[in-house]
Amino acid sequence: MSTEVKVPVLGESITEATVGEWLKQPGEAVAADEPICSLETDKVAIDVNAPAAGVMGEHLVQPGDNVEVGALIATIEEGSGGAAKPAPKADAAPSPAPAPAAKEEASAEGGSDAVVLSPAVRRAVLEHGIDPASIKGTGKDGRLTKEDVLAAAKAKKDAPAASTSAPAPAGAAPAAGGRNIERVKMTRLRQTIAKRLKSAQDTAALLTTFNDVDMTAVMETRAKYKDLFAKKHDVRLGFMGFFTKAACLALKDVPSVNAQMEGDEILYHDYVDVSVAVSAPNGLVVPVLRDADKKSFAQIEKDIADFGSRAKDGSLTMEDMKGGTFTISNGGVFGSLMSTPIINPPQSAVLGLHRIEERPVAINGKVEIRPMMYIALSYDHRIIDGREAVTALKIIKEAIEDPARLLIDL
């Protein structure tokens, strides 16, 4: 008797997903609730767990296939099973060397324990031609992360050239002179990001206003209290806590920046749910810091650190992404000096942070070297006037330059 494996409910308004990777192969033993397949949705990657213990049966869909909620994707048969995969067909010609796709399923010890790869890791393995069995994983339960593969690729590149070249990645088209082109299908997440950003440009009347911030006071405050803060709250005191608090102050004073359009109506929120842009292996994701205006510095920093950690290991959920009334995106961590961020629909504004750079500025008639940061506020001009946008950004600037304002609500 077999048990059907179906696509689970994926979240509100999400009806379809893309098969990312099979974590269990036909013939392998499966425990109840053990992850057997990963699915990529518009927002996050989700594991499909086994509904019963037994032996992995037939895969009815393949990686890259689109599947709807409730669709039958595999079966689990009765029995104890093993780790070996079905033998190749008799008429299949033996391969002189394992292909990259086969390599990623090879045993890390040369035995029967398969290397389980997430979709992001799989793509990185294929892209760089790395044997996953040769890499020690630093992720949960020793699993490989994308960073592990990139580090191995860098080490391989820095090492002296081998006498024989590595096999070309799957999808690479050889060309004269060793010039290659690799064709890789966009992930569902990347497709959704592209559609949403283009939709924002096509629909909203986007405009960006800029200002610069003297980071001296915040940097001095952070340097003075970071050790005590870390000791008491067990989390690092960063800059995001200050900017989140400053943004909440501005949004309370200028409600339209925290509002959204719905048809011919404007929805004003009496709460602030901040979407925090976080880099994940499959692209940029924006988990939501709910009720940010009511949270302490410590809780904000803890939540943001947790988002970053879970984005890296792929454990963010649909609920983490839902909602959001305003977005903060910190391109400064990647070295950006200035940018014009695009709003995250249906939100109406996004704050862009950039790198801190020492620059000469005029202070009381004298030129001084100060740590300065450009900040940008992109907004939907349909519901936010220029005066309101400029005022909101000015409030953020003043709160960062004089952090006492955050304590006395100025």
Q: Which residues are catalytic?
A: 381, 385
Residue 134 CA to residue 129 CA, distance in Å, equals: 12
131 near 103, Cβ under 8 Å?
A: yes
What is the per-residue DSSP string for 97-122?
S--HHHHTTSBSSSSS-BPP--HHHH
At 89 the three-state DSSP class reads coil
212 beta partners: 374
List, in order, residues 6 or more apart from 134 with CB less than 8 Å away. Answer: 152
At 70 the three-state DSSP class reads coil
267 beta partners: 260
Cis peptide before 346 (omega within 30 of 0): yes
Residue 77 CA to residue 401 CA, distance in Å, equals: 64
Closest CA to 341 of 350, 1, 200: 350
Residue 287 CA to residue 311 CA, distance in Å, equals: 9
DSSP state for residue 174 in the 8-state scheme: -
Residue 42 CA to residue 187 CA, distance in Å, equals: 9
105 near 25, Cβ under 8 Å?
A: yes
Q: What angle do CA 85, 88, 90 make, to 5 degrees?
A: 150
Structure tokens at 203: 């629909």
Closest CA to 105 of 136, 79, 84, 74: 84
How many CA atoms lie within 13 Å of 16's alpha carbon, on the beta-carbon side? 8
156: left (phi over 0), alpha (psi -120 to 50) or beta: alpha
Count of helix runs (H) and strand runs (E) in the chain: 10, 21
At 285 the three-state DSSP class reads strand
168 near 208, Cβ under 8 Å?
A: no
